[in-house]
Amino acid sequence: EDGYELWLRYHPLPAAAAAAYRNQAGQLIVGKATSTQAATRSELLRGLGGLLGTPPPLSAEVTRDGAIVAGTPSSSALIASLHLDTRDLGSEGYLVRSMRVNGHAATVIAGNTDIGVLYGAFRFLRLLQIGRPAGTLDLRDTPRMQLRVLDHWDDLDRHVERGYAGQSLWNWWTLPDDLDPRYTDYARANASIGINGSVLNNVNADPLILTHRYLLKVAALAGVFRAWGIRAYLSVPFDAPVRLGGLKTADPLDPAVRGWWRDKADEIYRLIPDFGGFLVKAHSEGQSGPQDYGRTHADGANMLAAALAPHGGVVMWRAFVYANRPGEDRVKQAWDEFKPLDGKFAANVLLQVKNGPLDFQPREPFNPLFGAMPKTPLMMELQITKEYLGFATNLVYLGPLFKEALAADTMAHGKGSTVARVIEGRRDGHAPSGIAGVANTGSERDWCGSDFNQANWYAFGRLAWDPQQSARAIADDWVRMTFSNDPGFVGPVVDMMMASREAAVDYMTPLGLAHQMGAGSHYGPAPWDHSLPRADWNPTYYNRADARGIGFDRTATGSDAVAQYAPPLARCLADLACVPDAYLLWFHHVPWTYRMRSGATLWQALVEHYTRGLDAVQTMRASWRGLQGHVDAERQLKAAAFLAIQQREAQWWRDASIAYWQSLNSLPLPPGYAPPAHPLRYYESLTFPDAPGQSR
Ligand code: BDP
């Protein structure tokens, strides 16, 4: 049990459950005329064979009860003869229905397309994996967003930026000849949760990826993914025409530059007819952009969009920009720069906006661009890899974080204009729509650096398909599929997962603090740090702590970032009487002695939160220890070892933070709270040049 099988762990079900399901899996009628049909067939045989002991026999028609019939009305005469209403299933939806076919009880899995049928097959297998009844089904489902994409921050030498699970999955050196079976398993895992796109390389992009030699490698991967409904995309550097093409400029209005990109797009589509498009990090953290030539983001994005449009490709243009403007609040910059461009982007451009205005913190308010650009399709970018959440070893289930971001109410069009509705694009009539997650995958056997990190990949896919699902229900499915249906195990583990994100916020950055991690590596606490050359890369820039108080004043008396939110929301966030505690220090600078709604002072509340976070990790650890015997020894021991690391790190976070704040405010600890284990200078002296995943 090394975790390789992920949630597609088709181990034999308990005898009674298997016996019951065998009545619903007596024979299988599914085509293999296309690669997706063949994939569907092989997955059903593999899944049912694994879960039930033997796979059902294949058949051309329904001759007995318990048949499973999968297909589209156009590929299967049998499905067509059932006259199913598939109109509202679109191009990726499916239905799974128990009905009589040829006088026999059958399960019909149908869609308008092969890929819809594949998604339906995975749904059917999931029902068996999680022990749901499968004899009276009437399910219909369609994705709420069109582009459901993983962004891999993988360099071409297999280093993964902010990756904590080994090397890149893509072995660029042995591609295109060697098609590691792992590429197929990657595609299966994604298809099982509805992910339909993969950006293969780092947003800090190397132009080498656009050479013909590398495009052949990309084409080989795209060839593996195709059957599973996944399109390949590439991150491209804006100045590729200069660095690769030998042109003097990358000016987006220059005809030679436009021609270069057009030719490049044509070349790509000759090799990969279903290529998805480009992801661009422009004018951000050292990457070049159209501003280098006196042009706007829209000029740059539209130029690439024009090259891709004839082939149906899209541009995902990132809004993660912040220039080095001392004295300015970094979190305001994207809004200032992009909002005036609303309506200026070509139809096949999506603006890819991080969930929060800063950078994938344990907690941030939502990015005010959501709701502020009704004429532009906005894609949300979430981070699945835990750059700011303790890396691979900390158990932090991100379902609640993703949900919080999606469910946030922008109030942009009155109550109920949630971020999810904005990105779904329905209100503003946008196509395309999408969501991206920065992948946490790597070459380690367990894919994600820990078994529990797999849940974050899983939750991302499930929420990308349907943001309305609950984080708890998704965790419940995942635990059952990954570990066991044993109720004595499922309940406690789901509780543990559901508590884990708030625990991390508490022991790292409670009450609206952010970016207090070690500069550069983002490992461990360093609230004192101001060593980096740019002010806005340093923890002290964000905490603004001194002898009197702490927090970033983003109201009108400070940076006024709050004014970027819709007025009713802005009014609340700016008002100490209304702002939620969770965002207090994000929007306000307050004295250490400030009275919280609970009656405690801010200082007491901070100490309480840090300690509560640490306690929660202790509880998680004890609860996992108590589940020994419910789970195989390998996965039990690994998670136990990682929880021990997490407990040590939570203690470190709590103690180092408290020691630093105390060095400023000279306040005693509230009674009953243990003092930090070491003096502040000990924490300040720790360095980790070897921390994994750093950017280059
Ligand atoms: C930051 C990461 C950096 C990425 C950057 C980005 O620290 O490695 O390149 O985001 O999203 O969070 O471009």
Mutate to test the pocket of ligand 1, among 317, 359, 385, 388 (most ligand atoms within 8 A of CB): 359
Considering the domain boundaries, does residue 187 fall inside one? yes
**Which ligand 1 atom minimizes the distance to the CA of 162?**
8
Alpha carbons 109 and 123: distance in angstroms, whole number: 9
Predicted pLDDT of residue 428: 80
Q: Of 110, 141, 172, which residue is a domain's last?
A: 141
For range 597-611, the mean pLDDT: 98
**Which ligand 1 atom minimizes the distance to the CA of 202?**
9
Q: Is the pLDDT of residue 326 over 90?
A: no
Which one of the listed residues 180, 285, 342, 466 is annotated catalytic? 285
Q: What is the pLDDT of residues 377-401, one digit of tens each?
A: 999 999 999 999 999 999 999 999 9
Alpha carbons 387 and 694: distance in angstroms, whole number: 9
Predicted pLDDT of residue 325: 85
In this prediction, residue 551 has a pLDDT band, given cuts at 50, 70 and 90, of very high
Residues 451, 313: one domain? yes
Which one of the listed residues 387, 451, 506, 536 is annotated catalytic? 387
Q: Could you count the other beta carbons within 10 Å of the beta carbon of residue 72? A: 23
Annotation says 387 is catalytic: yes
For range 647-672, the mean pLDDT: 98
Indicate if the alpha-carbon torsion angle 356, 493, 508, 447 is positive or negative. negative
In this prediction, residue 429 has a pLDDT band, given cuts at 50, 70 and 90, of confident
β-strand pairing of 314-318 with 147-151: unpaired
- Specify burial of residue 173 (Cβ count, 10 A radius: 0-12, 13-18, 19+): exposed
Residues 428, 455: one domain? yes
Predicted pLDDT of residue 427: 79
CA atoms within 13 A on the CB side of 400: 17
Q: How many angstroms separate the alpha carbon of residue 157 from the centre of ligand 1?
A: 18
Structure tokens of 558? Answer: 């400070």
β-strand pairing of 67-71 with 27-30: parallel
Q: What is the pLDDT of residues 327-368, one digit of tens each?
A: 899 999 999 999 999 999 999 999 999 999 999 999 999 999
Annotation says 359 is catalytic: yes
Q: How many angstroms separate the alpha carbon of residue 83 from the centre of ligand 1?
A: 50
Please tell me whether residue 381 adopts helix, strand or coil conformation.
strand
Residues 352, 462: one domain? yes
**Which ligand 1 atom minimizes the distance to the CA of 381?**
11
For range 416-435, the mean pLDDT: 92
Considering the domain boundaries, does residue 263 fall inside one? yes
Predicted pLDDT of residue 443: 98
In this prediction, residue 70 has a pLDDT band, given cuts at 50, 70 and 90, of very high
In this prediction, residue 426 has a pLDDT band, given cuts at 50, 70 and 90, of confident
Predicted pLDDT of residue 147: 98
Residues 120, 169: one domain? no
**Which ligand 1 atom minimizes the distance to the CA of 360?**
12
Q: Of 482, 517, 534, which residue is a domain's last?
A: 482
Indicate if the alpha-carbon torsion angle 282, 286, 288, 289 is positive or negative. positive
Structure tokens of 147? Answer: 């582009």
**Which ligand 1 atom minimizes the distance to the CA of 284?**
13
Considering the domain boundaries, does residue 226 fall inside one? yes
Alpha carbons 211 and 307: distance in angstroms, whole number: 17
The residue type found at 579 is V
Residues 276, 393: one domain? yes
Considering the domain boundaries, does residue 9 fall inside one? no
Q: What is the pLDDT of residues 483-535, one digit of tens each?
A: 999 999 999 999 999 999 999 999 999 999 999 999 899 999 999 999 999 99
Q: How many domains does the chain have?
A: 3
Q: Is the pLDDT of residue 659 over 90?
A: yes
Considering the domain boundaries, does residue 574 fall inside one? no
Kindly report whether the peptide bond that precedes residue 432 is cis, defined as omega within 30 degrees of 0: yes
Annotation says 285 is catalytic: yes
Structure tokens of 275? Answer: 């290529």
* Domain range for 97: 15-141
* Alpha helices, DSSP H, located in 324-427: 333-338, 399-407, 419-424
Which one of the listed residues 359, 381, 409, 608 is annotated catalytic? 359
Q: What is the pLDDT of residues 280-308, one digit of tens each?
A: 999 999 999 999 999 999 999 999 999 99
Q: How many angstroms separate the alpha carbon of residue 588 from the centre of ligand 1?
A: 26
Q: Of 107, 141, 175, which residue is a domain's last?
A: 141
Residues framing ligand 1 (Cβ under 6 A): 161-162, 203-204, 281, 285, 320, 359-360, 387, 695
Considering the domain boundaries, does residue 449 fall inside one? yes
Residues 122, 260: one domain? no
Q: How many angstroms separate the alpha carbon of residue 521 from the centre of ligand 1?
A: 11
Nearest to 337 by CA among 295, 276, 386, 303: 295
CATH number at 539 reads 3.90.1330.10
Q: How far is CA 315 from CA 183, 384, 626, in A?
A: 25, 22, 49
Q: Could you count the other beta carbons within 10 Å of the beta carbon of residue 185? A: 16
In this prediction, residue 323 has a pLDDT band, given cuts at 50, 70 and 90, of confident
Predicted pLDDT of residue 430: 81
Q: Could you tell me if 52 and 20 are in contact, meaning their C-beta atoms sit under 8 angstroms apart?
A: no
Cα end-to-end distance, the chain, whole Å: 34
Which residue puts its alpha carbon closest to atom 11 of ligand 1?
A: 320
Q: Using alpha carbons only, give the angle 418, 422, 426 rounded to the nearest 5 degrees.
A: 115
Residues 317, 219: one domain? yes
CATH number at 81 reads 3.30.379.10
Alpha carbons 619 and 248: distance in angstroms, whole number: 61
Residues 625, 658: one domain? yes
β-strand pairing of 94-101 with 104-110: antiparallel
What residues contact residue 345 under an 8 Å CB cut-off, 6+ apart? 298, 301, 302, 305, 317, 351, 376
Residues 470, 454: one domain? yes
Predicted pLDDT of residue 324: 85
In this prediction, residue 184 has a pLDDT band, given cuts at 50, 70 and 90, of very high
Q: Could you tell me if 230 and 221 are in contact, meaning their C-beta atoms sit under 8 angstroms apart?
A: no
CATH number at 473 reads 3.20.20.80
Structure tokens of 608? Answer: 């309480």
β-strand pairing of 138-141 with 94-101: antiparallel
Q: How many angstroms separate the alpha carbon of residue 358 from the centre of ligand 1?
A: 11
Residues 110, 228: one domain? no
In this prediction, residue 678 has a pLDDT band, given cuts at 50, 70 and 90, of very high
In this prediction, residue 561 has a pLDDT band, given cuts at 50, 70 and 90, of very high
Q: Is the pLDDT of residue 431 over 90?
A: no
HEC-encoded secondary structure of 209-273: HHCHHHHHHHHHHHHHHHCCCCEEEEECCCCHHHHCCCCCCCCCCCHHHHHHHHHHHHHHHHHCC
ipTM score over 0.90, yes or no: yes
Which residue puts its alpha carbon closest to atom 3 of ligand 1?
A: 695
DSSP-assigned letter for residue 25: -
- Specify burial of residue 431 (Cβ count, 10 A radius: 0-12, 13-18, 19+): exposed
Predicted pLDDT of residue 627: 97
Alpha carbons 672 and 24: distance in angstroms, whole number: 60
Considering the domain boundaries, does residue 490 fall inside one? no
Predicted pLDDT of residue 276: 98
Please tell me whether residue 590 adopts helix, strand or coil conformation.
strand
In the structure, how many helices (H) and strands (E) does the chain have? 21, 15
State the DSSP H helix or E strand holding residue 68, giving kind and residue range, or none if neither. strand 67-71
Mutate to test the pocket of ligand 1, among 164, 385, 387 (most ligand atoms within 8 A of CB): 387
Q: Is the pLDDT of residue 549 over 90?
A: yes
β-strand pairing of 314-318 with 590-591: unpaired
Q: How many angstroms separate the alpha carbon of residue 284 from the centre of ligand 1?
A: 9
Q: What is the pLDDT of residues 433-461, one digit of tens each?
A: 999 999 999 999 999 999 999 999 999 99
Q: How many angstroms separate the alpha carbon of residue 53 from the centre of ligand 1?
A: 46
For range 456-475, the mean pLDDT: 98
Structure tokens of 362? Answer: 């344990």
Residues 77, 202: one domain? no
Q: Could you tell me if 614 and 651 are in contact, meaning their C-beta atoms sit under 8 angstroms apart?
A: yes
Q: What is the pLDDT of residues 197-256, one digit of tens each?
A: 999 999 999 999 999 999 999 999 999 999 999 999 999 999 999 999 999 999 999 999
Residues 420, 298: one domain? yes
Indicate if the alpha-carbon torsion angle 19, 24, 29, 35 is positive or negative. negative
